[in-house]
Structure 1
Amino acid sequence: MIHRSRQAPARHAAVRTRSTAAMTTATLDFTVTIATTDTELREVSVLRAQAYGHHLPALAHSLAEPDAADLLPGTQVLLCRSKRSGQVIGTARLQRNHPQPLAIEASVVLPDALAALPRAEITRLAIAAGADALVRPMLVKACYLAAVASQIRLLVIGARSPALVRIYRGLGFADLSEGARPVPLAHAGNLPHQVLAFDVVSAERRWHGARHALYGFMVETWHPDLQLLTAPAAAMAALPWREAA
């Protein structure tokens, strides 16, 4: 469920070059934040185990606990929490190619042009049964905004079913290469996945030029329930140069 207002927030006036109209404000029935505590990571892990357990039963037990990738510098674990129940109803992990290659690169060779770009992979995307239909698009919006803020050029994701492929294409992803077929992914139980990529830098102008429905949702709507700012200490600790200091 979504609640909209056409009045620009007093302290968040939108600066727009294409229109003088107010930026839409939309409140949600859930919040979207970055997991910063062990408790939050464990809540996320329980949801992962529930969501992936039916098609990855061998991994269900291990998915129920945070893994090493959750704690890597440059990794952000997103969580959606229901305002009504307080339960975690959605999650995704955004992991950039530093300090190590993307997990998907152990199974897929990226085209040279893409392999040269700063990039991140969306993994462990899980949504609770019966959750708000906006959870998935809000997780993708959160990944997009986090990528922009981190100067990531390319987002990569694997989709295991034709239905998910259609959903991600509708959200702006495209096949990694023309005619690409599903490939088994080692970090996803060796199940075949269609690998899709998203050009972060060109997304805004492509949406605008095509009059895509996503433009309003991704660019022209302020969601106050989406908060990706982390505490300064946590943000500083994730910087690559901190390791050498």
Structure 2
Amino acid sequence: MRTHLLHFTVRPVRTEMELRAACAVRAAAYGRRLPDVLGLWGEPDELDRQAGVTVFAAFSKATGEVLGTARLASNAHRPLQIEGSTTLPADYRGTRNAEITRLAVLPGQDDPTLKLALMKAVYQAALAQRVEWMVIGARLPSLVRGYQRLGFTDVLPGGAMVPLAHAGDLPHRVLSFNVRTAQADWQAIRHPFYDFMVEQQHPDIQIGTPARAPAAGLGTAAPALAA
């Protein structure tokens, strides 16, 4: 296993300030196409602070600025948000699942490893939590293709799109990823992401210990994944 250093670090947010900085990235990234979310996603929401939820952020080593973020929420304490909008097939019932939401990169960041590193963080966290399936909603065809390149497949027949209440009621494709078999699947097909996701050791990617996000007022201060 080779050690590879990044120009940023990825880890769970630890303070209120870091959580709010991650939210600012969400608003900036999604607000370009969805102006209505600027005011909503620029602040932490209720899920950010719940047990079983980890908000990851990528921090620039040079400036400390938050460059990207992703949130992983398991069904250990409550149903997944996506289950409030659609019924998952039988294969996803009675298993430990997790949902990736609010995956965002600061506009202007063109390093393709940034989003891939965030995905590696949520993948490693899901492994640590013994998650079987990760699910995600994707609205744009370019994002769908990016997740498919990683190994996500459609959950609903025919790639049906459904409005997601936690994503502005906009239609999304629902995709899933088998965490338990991912490494073997990548290796079997010599997947281009296998080296980054499995073979390379990234000390700059830290998954931490799953815990509650910071309570309000605490603390201060590769190949392209998607077209």
Flag whether TM exceeds 0.5 (same fold).
Answer: yes
Letter matched to residue 105 of structure 2: I
2:25 is matched with which residue? 47
1:116 is matched with which residue? 94
Cα distance in 1 between the residues matched to 2:108 and 2:34: 20
Q: Which residues of structure 1 form unaligned runs of 5+?
A: 1-22, 239-245
Cα distance in 1 between the residues matched to 2:66 and 2:160: 33
Q: Deviations over 1:95-150 (max 9, x none)?
A: 01132111111111100111221101000111011222211111111111000000
Which structure carries more relative contact order (alpha carbon 8 Å, separation 6+)? Answer: 2
1:74 is matched with which residue? 52
TM-score under structure 1 length normalisation: 0.83
Q: Which residues of structure 2 form unaligned runs of 5+?
A: 214-227
Cα distance in 2 between the residues matched to 1:49 and 1:130: 14
Q: Deviations over 1:72-109 (max 9, x none)?
A: 00000000011122210100000011321111111111
1:101 aligns with 2:70: no
Determine if contact 2:28/2:107 at 8 Å carries over to the other structure: no
1:21-170 → structure 2 map (5 Å cutoff) = 23-131=1-109, 132-170=111-149
Percent identity among equivalent residues?
48
Cα distance in 1 between the residues matched to 2:96 and 2:158: 24
Q: Deviations over 1:170-224 (max 9, x none)?
A: 1111111441211111110111111100000011111111111222111111001
Determine if contact 2:53/2:72 at 8 Å carries over to the other structure: yes
Task: Give runs of ≥4 in structure 1 deviating > 3 Å.
Answer: none
SS of the equivalent of 1:168 reads helix
SS of the equivalent of 1:60 reads helix
Cα distance in 2 between the residues matched to 1:178 and 1:67: 31
TM-score under structure 2 length normalisation: 0.89
SS of the equivalent of 1:139 reads helix
SS of the equivalent of 1:201 reads coil
1:183 aligns with 2:162: yes
Determine if contact 2:30/2:38 at 8 Å carries over to the other structure: yes
Letter matched to residue 30 of structure 1: F
1:205 is matched with which residue? 184
Query: How many residues matched?
Result: 212
Letter matched to residue 137 of structure 2: G
Cα distance in 1 between the residues matched to 2:47 and 2:179: 23
Determine if contact 1:56/1:189 at 8 Å carries over to the other structure: no
CA RMSD of aligned residues (A): 1.5
Cα distance in 1 between the residues matched to 2:208 and 2:32: 34
Cα distance in 2 between the residues matched to 1:58 and 1:129: 17
Correspondence for 1:226 among 191, 205, 211: 205
Cα distance in 1 between the residues matched to 2:68 and 2:91: 32
